[in-house]
Amino acid sequence: MVKFLDLAKQYSMLKPEIDEAISAVINESAFIGGKYVNVFERHFADYQQTAHCIGVANGTDAIEIALEALHLPAGSEILVPANTFIATSEAVTRCGHKVVFCDCDPETYTISIPDATKRITPDTHAIIPVHLYGHPCDMDKVLDLARRYKLTVIEDCAQAHGAVYKGRKVGGFGDIGTFSFYPGKNLGAYGDGGAIVTNDDGLAGKCRMIANHGRIDKYNHEFEGRNSRLDGIQAAILDVKLTRLDQWIHRRREIAEYYRRTLNNLPELTLPSVKDWAGHVWHLFVIRTAERDALQKHLAEHEIHTGVHYPIALPMLKAYSHLGREKSDLFACSIGSELLSLPMGEHLDDGELEIVVKEIKNYFTR
Ligand SMILES: *Cc1c(COP(=O)(O)O)cnc(C)c1O
């Protein structure tokens, strides 16, 4: 069997360190806030090359809190890619703003700047580039657009821990960046977790207060915030895993290179491409084929697990039917039936990769 994701195997490799980290938090009762959260926040800010990191409860809250801290005019239009996880757009609506779906670039699947430009109105105040699948967005173009139209930039980095754009890690290019530590992400907790990163001292302080009841100290609240905190156990676990992240990214890159080399002569497949300025971290390795369902079934019959990210583009969901874009003609909305995510991650050995490639070839030459 070739697994899509194998968190139990990852735990077995790190067990002594993880168990010790969890015990330490329990022995010290450092459950909320405290040393382990502070240490991880420092380490993760350094890793992402930003001045600040604020741990929060999950990646969706991270976007919501970032938007709240930015204090955009009520009802602002915010540019969001049509092909992302719903959390990105959900946060926009929850903060009282309007989602404006944009098409994606056909090569990288990240937000299309020409398409986003067309959708700008006097009410557009922000853009949320999503570094989808681990491929960074073209941040020079995003920032150029943002400067021209005075847009705030919120980077959704939930799939892109460690991803690099022109030599620098993502998260610190825009005004604020958000991360998820959902267990299946490249850096995942043992439960929910998330983080906000920024180089802006004022925004960092604001986010920290919003996430912790608008507190300045225990029973002194400057405003009404909410409760969205990264807990000590998750922080301690993440701090152990962060020491392995570069090694895991290195393995993901080897796997991607292997897939790209060995699958490259199948005309029925569109393989993912990588821009020369991109340090891709391969959260997902997404291919496209008109025969997606049959190929996925063939692989499943040979015990090879795959995924689809995402089968229904956001504008086509019932949740967004009120926007009247069900029959959207966007490229991003036309590929849901073609996308297939192959097994990817440090849990895979070379033998398993050979099996995946062999069965894909068998399917197309049957
Ligand atoms: C996972 C994900 C999120 C949400 O993160 P949670 O921690 O699950 O709330 C947001 N955006 C993208 C692109 C994601 O992949």
Strand order of the sheet with strand 98-102? 52-56, 194-198, 176-180, 152-156, 124-127, 77-81, 98-102
Query: What pLDDT was estimated at residue 325?
Result: 67
Query: What pLDDT was estimated at residue 250?
Result: 98
Query: What pLDDT was estimated at residue 218?
Result: 87
Q: How far is CA 241 from CA 81, 117, 146, 324, 339, in A?
A: 30, 39, 34, 43, 30
CA 218 to ligand 1 center in whole angstroms = 30
CA gyration radius for the chain?
21
**Mean pLDDT along residues 292-310:** 98
Structure tokens at 286: 């997404």
Ligand 1 atom showing the smallest separation from residue 182 Cα: 7
- Secondary structure of the chain as H, E, C letters: CECCCCHHHHHHHHHHHHHHHHHHHHHHCCCECCHHHHHHHHHHHHHCCCCEEEEECCHHHHHHHHHHHHCCCCCCEEEEECCCCCHHHHHHHHCCCEEEEECECCCCCCECHHHHHHCCCCCEEEECCECHHHCCCCHHHHHHHHHHHCCEEEEECCCCCCCEECCEECCCCCCEEEEECCCCCCCCCCCCCEEEEECCHHHHHHHHHHHECCEEECCEECCCCCECCCEHHHHHHHHHHHCCHHHHHHHHHHHHHHHHHHCCCCCCCECCCCCCCEECCCCCEEEECCCHHHHHHHHHHCCECCECCCCCCHHHCHHHHHHCCCCCCCHHHHCCCCEEEECCCCCCCHHHHHHHHHHHHHHHCC
Query: What pLDDT was estimated at residue 295?
Result: 98
CA 30 to ligand 1 center in whole angstroms = 26
Contacts of 159 (CB under 8 A, 6+ apart): 130, 131, 132, 133, 134, 185, 186, 283, 284
CA distance 14 to 1: 22
Report which protein residue has its CA nearest ligand 1's atom 5.
Answer: 59
Structure tokens at 117: 């430009």
Using one digit for the tens of pLDDT, what is the confidence trace for 310-351? 999 999 999 999 988 666 789 999 999 999 999 999 999 999
Using one digit for the tens of pLDDT, what is the confidence trace for 127-155? 999 999 999 999 999 999 999 999 999 99
CA 132 to ligand 1 center in whole angstroms = 11
Structure tokens at 236: 């301690």
- Do the beta carbons of residue 180 and residue 228 sit within 8 Å? no
Ligand 1 lining (C-beta closer than 6 Å): 58-60, 84-85, 87-88, 130, 156, 158-159, 180, 182, 192, 194
The number of C-alpha atoms within 13 Å of 304 and in the hemisphere containing its C-beta is 23
CA distance 283 to 297: 22
Report which protein residue has its CA nearest ligand 1's atom 10.
Answer: 87
Q: Which of 5, 154, 170, 182 to mutate to test the pocket of ligand 1 (most atoms within 8 A of CB)?
A: 182
Using one digit for the tens of pLDDT, what is the confidence trace for 100-122? 999 999 999 999 999 999 999 99
What one-letter code names the amino acid at 298? H
Using one digit for the tens of pLDDT, what is the confidence trace for 10-62? 999 999 999 999 999 999 999 999 999 999 999 999 999 999 999 999 999 99
The number of C-alpha atoms within 13 Å of 230 and in the hemisphere containing its C-beta is 36
Query: What pLDDT was estimated at residue 327?
Result: 62
- Do the beta carbons of residue 81 and residue 110 sit within 8 Å? yes
Using one digit for the tens of pLDDT, what is the confidence trace for 164-216? 999 999 999 999 999 999 999 999 999 999 999 999 999 999 999 999 999 98
pLDDT for residue 217 is more than 90: no
CA 56 to ligand 1 center in whole angstroms = 13
CA 86 to ligand 1 center in whole angstroms = 8
What one-letter code names the amino acid at 248? W
